[in-house]
């Protein structure tokens, strides 16, 4: 039922940018066919078109991510780290469990996650790439030592580190929640932290686009994506972004006035 409500709204939101994009392309096409057209002007039009496409793709990414967050499952922790006496010290979700449960949800919302292992002298680097069908992607990475615990051979040690890197980067990009399947004396299961709704995430994303690059970077370091903001701090974050967007708009107006 929620899909019937959300999907048409998303299409209405992107209708205007799509029409504007078509209009810009028409202008570029006419300019390119004019022998007297200034090449610098044509390049600026192309750059404007690329910026508009990137902005539209980012907006669609944020909206789809917010909707997907509401359907992302909580994954049980079947893996265990044991001490020298064989007692389980902590638990974790196995990558095969994570992958199996997130793939259908990602596919439904137009996402795909891939991994790369760039050469890194400091250890094994695992890079996670979350891509959306609209064209936007987000990347995060982690550098790990070779997992030489237990009786692993060299290949197994590398594979173990890569598997951990996949779990870690996927968890950051998708805000995956895991929980212990039972309490075996090692402490209570992990608590699920409620996140903002898709409508709230869209509201935050819209305000964030109006903020300065410095404010955007600070937001990303603290919260990641708008959909990852905790529900308990929504009002506080909303107020801060509203103030930041207003300050940036005023700064832009002053700059424009000085230029004139």
Q: Domain range spanning residue 249?
A: 193-260
Domain end among 180, 204, 221:
180
Backbone phi and psi for residue 148, each to the nearest 5 degrees, phi listed first: -95, 15
Has residue 12 got a pLDDT over 60? no
Domain end among 138, 156, 180:
180
Q: Dump pLDDT digits (tens) for 92-122.
A: 888 998 999 999 999 999 999 999 999 888 8
In whole angstroms, what is the distance from residue 257 CA to residue 251 CA? 10
In whole angstroms, what is the distance from residue 227 CA to residue 223 CA? 9
What would you report as the CA-atom Rg of the chain, rounded to the nearest whole angstrom? 23
pLDDT at res. 169: 93
Is 185 part of a structural domain of the chain? no
Domain end among 120, 147, 180:
180
Most confident by average pLDDT, 57-66, 116-125, 149-158? 57-66
pLDDT at res. 189: 42
In whole angstroms, what is the distance from residue 124 CA to residue 17 CA? 42
- Overall domain count for the chain: 3
At 207, the pLDDT band (50, 70, 90 cuts) reads very high
Has residue 5 got a pLDDT over 50? no
Taking residues 7-16, what's their average pLDDT? 41
Helices (H), the chain: 2-32, 39-69, 95-108, 154-174, 198-208, 213-223, 234-259
Is 135 part of a structural domain of the chain? yes
My answer on whether 36 and 17 are in the same domain is yes
CATH of the domain at 23: 1.20.120
Is 187 part of a structural domain of the chain? no
Has residue 11 got a pLDDT over 70? no
CB 82 within 8 A of CB 97: no
């Amino acid at each position: 039922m929620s899909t019937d409500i959300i999907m048409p709204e998303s299409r209405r939101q992107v209708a205007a940018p799509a029409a504007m994009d078509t209009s810009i392309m028409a202008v570029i096409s006419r300019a390119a066919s004019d022998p007297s057209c200034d090449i610098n002007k044509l390049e600026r039009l192309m750059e404007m078109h690329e910026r508009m496409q990137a902005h539209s793709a980012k907006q669609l990414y944020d909206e789809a991510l917010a909707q997907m967050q509401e359907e992302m499952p909580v994954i049980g922790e079947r893996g265990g780290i044991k001490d020298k006496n064989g007692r389980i010290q902590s638990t974790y979700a196995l990558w095969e469990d994570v992958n199996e449960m997130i793939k259908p949800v990602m596919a439904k919302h137009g996402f795909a996650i891939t991994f790369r292992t760039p050469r890194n002298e400091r250890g094994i680097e695992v890079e996670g790439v979350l891509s959306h069908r609209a064209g936007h992607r987000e990347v995060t990475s982690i550098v790990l030592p070779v997992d030489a615990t237990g009786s692993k051979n060299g290949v197994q040690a590398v594979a173990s580190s890569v598997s951990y890197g996949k779990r870690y980067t996927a968890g950051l990009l998708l805000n995956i929640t895991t929980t212990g399947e039972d309490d075996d004396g090692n402490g209570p299961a992990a608590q699920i932290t409620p996140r903002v709704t898709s409508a709230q995430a869209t509201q935050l994303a819209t305000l964030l686009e109006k903020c300065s690059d410095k404010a955007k970077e600070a937001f990303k370091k603290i919260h990641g994506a708008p959909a990852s903001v905790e529900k308990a701090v929504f009002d506080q974050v909303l107020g801060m972004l509203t103030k930041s967007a207003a300050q940036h708009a005023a700064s832009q107006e002053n700059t424009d006035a000085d230029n004139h």
